Structure 1
Amino acid sequence: MTDRLFAGLKPDGLDELAEDGYRRRRSADLARAFATPRVRRRSRRPFLLVASAAAAGLAAATVVVASGETPAPRTPSPAVAAAPVTARSFLLAAASTALREPAESGRYWYVRERTFAKVHHVPGDYTAKLNALRKAQKDKEAGLKGAPERLAAAEKEFEKKVTELKTGGVPELPYAAFSADTRETWRPMKAGETGRSVSNQDVEVTFGSPQDEADWRAAGSPELAEKKPKTYDDGTERVLSIDNPSLNLHNLADLPTGEDALRRRLDDLWKRSPNSADTDKAGYLWQTAVDLMTAPLKPGTRSALFRVLADQPAVTLEGRTSDALGRTGVALSTPAAHELTVRLVVDERSAGLLQYELAEKGKLLLRVALEDMGWSDELGRRPAG
């Protein structure tokens, strides 16, 4: 499965991928929640997602964590007495809220996200091995000039070795360590303009236990995360995701605003996806929904998307929960192929996506908290408000 391959990618090799796609598939086997300051999220408009009787039925839920570690105690959202609503009714209410949102526009679409991940290896070890492979390949190519068939075979073998390195060529750390970092992106709406990404911000490294930290020190205290922010300006047009190479920020406005029409379009996109042979339709739909929820959709399209999701089977309403940044939202989860589970945390007032997760057999592979999204008219400037 393609997503499994992405889950095994090592961070230092991710520059070889489309920048906007890699974090959605990066492995993040968390052992505990990180203590992160509460960040204010701009709400587009304060419409309640559910009527008062329905809202009263949302029960408190806990944040999913992986690896069996016990997270720091959280004060749960207060439970209330009314009967719980269903996942379908919540998603339909979200559709109504999304439809009332005003249509906005700007020069750049801005996203600020915080990713939480288990550190699987010392980053420098991977980089050294990758550089050695590249040097060996360069030397081999120099000796194969004039032999195109042998050169093509050598390139194929090189790609195979890089994939093997990314998916297990560096040994796992013998101790439990975890990282968190923030990334900001400005994507231009006009073709040909320069966009920007700023990564490795507010990097934190923690350990699963005092013994894990002691083992790290005994190993020479290697650097487990690059802490210097990176700024990257690029004019290349970015696709929405690796699953949908035909979609980008410039043609999202062409997506249908009607439920049936959008369902048909998503079915067609799934059939044409380069990963459709390895991804079940349900998994594709929910992953694409995350991609679309973090993009500048028209209110009608966003509303139709919620209605399409409301018709999907096996969606569980988990109730109110706190995301990794301490914000309260409503958690929804659904199973996908290969024993995967997709989990979303949605703001019940604005229908905005607060956080998304991907878990395999109950262990978290990925957690990304959306700190802010919106329009900016200047490269490098965050949205007002």
Structure 2
Amino acid sequence: MTDRMFADLRPAKLDELTEDAYRRRRSADLARALATPRRPRHSRRPFLLMAGTLAAGLAAAVTVVAGSGESTAPVKAPQPPVVAQPVSARSFLLAAATTAMREPAGSGRYWYVRERTFQKVHNVPSEYMAQIQRLIKEQQRREKELKGDLKRLEAAKDDFEQKVGKLKTAELPYVAYAADTRETWRAMKKGEPGSSVGSQDVRVTFGSPDDEAAWRAAGSPELVDPKTPAPVRSADRILSIDNPSLTLQNVRDLPTGEDGLRQELDALWKRSPRMAHADKPTYLWQTGVDLMTAPIRPGTRSALFRILADQPGITSQGESSDALGRTGVALSAPSADGFDFRLIIDGDTAELLQYEVVEKGQPLLRVALEQLGWSDSPDQRPKG
């Protein structure tokens, strides 16, 4: 499991205990927005559907459970539908490149994104944090005992990290997903604070009625914190974990031609902190998500789609529904460490609807981009 993926899957409160807290919040980092005003999705049929190349997919039903633990509908968690005769990933990406060129560029003082995140629950939060606190106290005690013994201190640190790692990847005896909504306003002017509101509309989804029954048999423990925090003013944040030199301000300077962008991505890869421990196709796929959800120019988006179309291993799963019920085309690419990265892209506008991480066919993380656009105030949503 890569550090990038690992960060997404761990409980959020652990971030408060680390020095690199922000760099390990992958879902917040990736969820940036497109720089173009969007047309209503429901007003058109996707262009590939008009060609008759895709079969209609059925959206799986979703069980929604409130923070109190009361189920509102007994059905399965969303799963990708099986689709016959999907269009090839390359054909779709090349068509998306043409569509992206037709989208007008936009501008504004703040870039706004509203995202809905669904993340697999690995631990009961209260139990998890109690165990983490015990490990921290134990580590602090050992550091005092081993003060000055660098070799044993390093061994103690490794032991602590291994124990924390086991807690992160522990599995409950039932499958559950926590969902919440986050809104962010990112300032386009360097140094100007933005704003964010997270953990809104917190709910839980179970993998099946049997999973819900197992949860109830376990005493219906609280799996999420339903409280909504107050808006937070924040300074500029990292645009791409894998590419520290990219910012919200300079990402619009990326080349708009395919060759120029390919060369720039190669240069970014060579400077990336991921280069030493990640394969390039995975880096490129994840950086592609960073760029697709950032305010890049239409020409850059078009070039990016063309570059991705040339990558090996990307497959199309045909028409699929995202976690919000919107329809797009699902593209999937494997990583070297056994995960699948999956995107659902609107066939009409070529915008990213959702990105997700899948392990052995089971979603671990799903982030649906609900609303994107420009705003001139850090407390106002885009119009339309």
SS of aligned partner of 2:235? coil
Contact persistence 2:345–2:354 (CA under 8 A): yes
Counterpart residue type for residue 53 of structure 2:
G
Matches within 5 A, 1:72-91: 85-91=87-93
Tell me, what secondary structure is at the counterpart of 1:97?
helix
RMSD between aligned alpha carbons?
Answer: 3.7
TM-score normalised by L of structure 2: 0.80
Please tell me whether residue 110 in structure 1 is matched to residue 109 in structure 2. Answer: no
1:204 is aligned to 2:208: no
SS at match of 1:241: coil
1:171–1:321 CA distance, 2 compared to 1 (3 A): closer
User: What residue number does 2:275 align with?
Assistant: 276
Give me the whole-angstrom Cα distance separating, in 2, the residues matched to 1:301 and 1:73.
32
Q: 1:57·1:85 contact (CA, 8 Å) conserved in 2?
A: yes
1:81-139, CA deviations, whole angstroms, 9 ceiling, x for partnerless residues?
Answer: xx864322221221122112111111111111111122111111222233344455566
Task: Quote the Cα distance in structure 2 between the aligned partners of 1:270 and 1:344.
Answer: 21
CA 1:370/1:20 → structure 2, altered by over 3 Å: closer, same or farther?
farther
Partners of 1:72 and 1:140 lie apart in 2 by 43
Counterpart of 2:38 in structure 1: which amino acid?
S
Trace 1:56-205 onto structure 2 (pairs within 5 A). 56-61=52-57, 71=76, 85-135=87-137, 154=153, 157-158=156-157, 161-162=160-161, 164-168=163-167, 171-205=170-204
Structure 2 CA distance for partners of 1:176 and 1:345, relative to 1, 3 Å: closer
Structure 1 residues 8 and 45: CA distance shift in structure 2, 3 A: closer
Cα offset, 1:159, TM superposition? 7.3
Summarize deviations over 1:241-268 as a string: whole Å, max 9, x none. Answer: 2212221212111211111111111112
How far has the Cα of 1:232 moved from its partner?
Answer: 5.2
C-alpha separation in 2, matches of 1:192 and 1:279: 32
* Partners of 1:194 and 1:233 within 8 A in 2: no
CA contact (8 A) 1:24 1:366 kept: no
Tell me the secondary structure at the aligned position of residue 294 of structure 2: coil
Aligned-residue offset at 1:2: 2.5
Partner of 1:55: 51
Q: 1:294 corresponds to which residue?
A: 293
Equivalent position of 1:39 in the other structure = none
Q: Tell me how far 1:305 sits from its aligned partner.
A: 0.7
Note the C-alpha offset of 1:197: 2.0
Partner of 2:15 in structure 1?
A: 14
Percent identical residues: 54
* Residue-pair matches, total: 360
Name the aligned partner's letter for residue 233 of structure 1. Answer: V
SS of residue in 1 equivalent to 2:239: strand
Output one character per residue of 1:280-317: Cα deviation in whole Å (capped at 9) or x when no partner.
Answer: 11111111111111111111111111111111223222
Q: Distance in 2 between matches of 1:11 and 1:211?
A: 27
State the partner residue of 2:3. Answer: 2
List gaps (5 residues or longer) in structure 2.
Answer: 31-36, 62-74
Paired position in structure 2 for 1:33: none
- Give the aligned residue type for 1:131: Q
Give the letter aligned to residue 27 of structure 2: R
- Give the gaps of 5 or more residues in structure 1: 27-41
**1:217-241 deviations in Å (ceiling 9; x for gaps):** 4544322101101245244331122
Q: Aligned partner of 1:23: which letter? A: S
How far off its partner does 1:333 sit?
1.7
Pick closer, same or farther for the CA change 1:361–1:194 going to 2, 3 Å.
same
**8 A Cα contact 2:122 2:172, kept in partner:** yes
Match of 1:348 in 2: 347
